[in-house]
Chain A
Amino acid sequence: MFKYLLRRFIFLLVTYIVATTIVFILPRAIPGNPLSQILSNLSRVAQANPEAIRAAEKTLMEEFGLGKPWYVQYFEFITKALRGDLGTSITFYPRKVIDLIIPVIPWTLALLLPATIVAWILGNSLGALAAYKRNTWIDKGVLTTSLIVSQIPYYWLGMIFIFLFGVKLGWLPVQGAYSQGTIPNLSWSFFVDVLKHYIMPFASIVVSAMGGWAIGMRLMVIYELGSDYAMFSEYLGMKDKRIFKYVFRNSLLPQITGLALSLGGVLGGALITEIVFNYPGTGYLLFRALTTLDYPLIQGIFVILIASIYLANFIVDFLYALIDPRIRLGQEA
């Protein structure tokens, strides 16, 4: 099991280095030199104080290491990124990129993590149920709904929810993570306020993410039910429920791998959902960075996001190793 985890860790580390290399190369490889664009943008965005602009220019030149050979730039970029030094924002000059990112991460995590897990559990249970009741109306209902629901973009479902439950019915607040004018604190009323704002973005992710899991799980269980061991147990006269328990466990394994692979897409969708809801998470910060072409901030957000995806991947690998007896007992999967 340790060998397996070590292998996965090295793979993810290599992948992370490749990804950060892409983040490093892009602004330097794309014609039109975005760095000079940044500098020209600076005069528009930063305070119109010429001295401040010159100071910002100097920080930027230093941080991007312009003028130094590319391998020195690259080495500095990677080592700084590993130390958490992601440079200085242009839009919010002179604030550090890392200081802007840290306060938004909890909002994104609080939205994304529970939504992904709930969608995964609900979707898999529904899918397994559909396969168990194959060709009944339950199966057909689950499959048809899942096929449609899985194709609804999170953010569009979010828009529909805002329109229905926020605008038309007035049940829930239409934007933000808490009411404007309130200062985040630990009181009960603030908690309730946050919860009210949380329901719609959470539900839009859960509902549309669920469909895909249900479709996948249904297929897995149908495959497993047709496999030799399931057939054999049936011939032995084992109870359906018991066979199903084994089948369910085995079908769950590929779904765990699927969870790791889907994280990137889920994150992308959730970021856009945050924009639709004006939810103060990473997606919203990224959106502001993109609209003002704040490249240091954009790069910083990406370095962090990609790192967290790989970290999550590793956690899923670890869970997989715990659950799959073949890996747990030191055999190869």
Chain B
Amino acid sequence: MIRPLFKNKKFIIGFSIFLFFLFLGIFGPVFYKVDPMEMTWDYEQPPSSAHPLGTDTYGRDVLAQLLHGIRSSLYIGFLAAIISLVIGTIIGSFSAVKRGIVDDVLMGITNIVLTTPSILIAILIASYLKVRSVEMVAVILGLFQWPWFARAIRAQLMSVMSREYVYLSVMAGYSDLRLVIEDLIPTIATYAFMSFVLFINGGIMGEAGLSLIGLGPTQGISLGIMLQWAVLMEAVRRGLWWWFVPPGLAIVAVTASLLVISTAMDEVFNPRLREE
């Protein structure tokens, strides 16, 4: 199933860029052993051999911050994505399987969350929490981005369940579990994976936004927090480009590569997009 993906040029490009940043996040801090929080007297220095990406107002190394930032931003993204995926799958499949009043109630909730501006609610919740761990930020973000996924899962499952092969499986006396594993999961697997990828984007972007208004994780470094520091210290208007350009570029590169992966998967697996 995976093989046709690696024939798609877009997928290969997106996947390579994402892998590159994943490696940077995982192994970067291991190999580049500079403490991102260590203050030195070399403050606001442009890139040099001692500090490949320069330093910030407190003389901290920007490259070290970037590597640690990529790590925690990816971590937040993954965590938020897993939370959204689980909530969305549970609500979507319950709705599809139970129908009736359960379906009405669950879809009512889903529509309310869908219409509610999630980033605003996330800002509001974060503003009441004095200490915010990286995980808490991921949870806050993950709690609000599942509705469209739940709706899509519900719609897909409903259409699958009315197909003949599922009906045949039921007549053949398959247990519910076997039915779910053999007939239902494969049909939603690609869609779920594509959504998962976009949820990671939502998490990374959401973290950056929250951090920029000062509501990101209270300890540690993320790409959003780097941007927040740069804004607080007026790095932009003072022309300290090496400070605010790298974290933004990293955000764009990671999220765009994931979007390309998802788009390419859609092209490969979605018959309506396949070219004649």
| A110 contacts partner chain B, Cβ-Cβ < 8 Å | no
Contacts between the two chains (Cβ within 8 Å), count: 144
- The size class of the interface chain B forms with chain A is 35 or more
A223 to B114: give the CA distance in the assembly, Å. Answer: 24
Judge whether A19 and B272 touch: CB under 8 Å. no
Q: Is the CB of B118 within 8 A of A264?
A: yes
Complex interface: stretch among B27-35, B163-171, B252-260: B252-260
Encode contact with B along A152-174: 1 for CB under 8 Å, 0 otherwise.
Answer: 11011001101100111000001
Does A290 have its Cβ within 8 Å of any Cβ on chain B?
A: yes
In the complex, the answer to whether B125 meets A310 with C-beta atoms within 8 Å is no
Separation in Å of the B58 CB from the closest CB of chain A? 20
B-side contacts of A23, CB under 8 Å: 124
Number of interface residues of A (CB under 8 A): 61
Q: Please tell me if A254 contacts chain B, counting CB pairs below 8 Å.
A: no
Contact check, B115 vs A12: say whether CB atoms are below 8 A apart: yes
Bound-complex Cα distance A151 to B249 (A): 10
Residue among A12, A268, A310 having the largest count of chain B Cβ atoms under 10 Å: A268
Q: Which of A135, A298, A305 contacts B127 (CB 8 A)?
A: A298
- Does the CB pair A163–B117 fall under 8 Å? no
Q: How far is the CA of A226 from the CA of B244 in the complex (A)?
A: 44
Instruction: Tell me the complex Cα distance, A92–B203, Å.
Output: 34
Does B212 interact with chain A (Cβ within 8 Å)? yes
Q: Which residues of chain A come closer than 8 Å to B205, judged between CB atoms? A: 151, 153
Dominant secondary structure at the A interface: helix
B196-214 at interface with A (beta carbon < 8 Å): 201, 205, 208-209, 212-214
Q: Are A148 and B120 in contact (CB under 8 A)?
A: no
B116 close to A264 (CB less than 8 A): yes
Q: Does A229 contact B (CB under 8 A)?
A: no
Are B214 and A291 in contact, with the CB atoms below 8 A?
yes
In the assembled complex, which residues on chain A have CB atoms less than 8 Å from the CB atom of B244? 156, 159, 163
Contact B116 A30 (CB under 8 A): no
* Contact A147-B256, Cβ < 8 Å, known A15-B115, A264-B117: yes
Given the interface pairs A15-B116, A275-B212, A290-B213, the reply to whether A167 lies near B128 with Cβ below 8 Å is no
Is the CB of B52 closer than 8 A to any CB of chain A?
A: no
Are the CB atoms of A166 and B237 closer together than 8 Å?
yes
> Is B16 in the interface zone, CB < 8 Å from A?
no
What are 19 A-B pairs at a CB distance below 8 A?
A11-B111, A18-B112, A22-B121, A22-B124, A148-B256, A151-B205, A153-B248, A156-B251, A159-B236, A168-B239, A219-B273, A265-B118, A276-B236, A290-B214, A290-B215, A293-B127, A305-B117, A309-B117, A313-B115
**Which positions in A face B, CB cutoff 8 Å?**
11-12, 14-15, 18-19, 22-23, 26-27, 30, 32, 34, 37, 135, 147-148, 150-153, 155-156, 159-160, 162-163, 166-168, 174-175, 215, 219, 222-223, 226, 261, 263-265, 267-269, 271-272, 275-276, 286-287, 290-291, 293, 295, 298, 302, 305-306, 309-310, 313
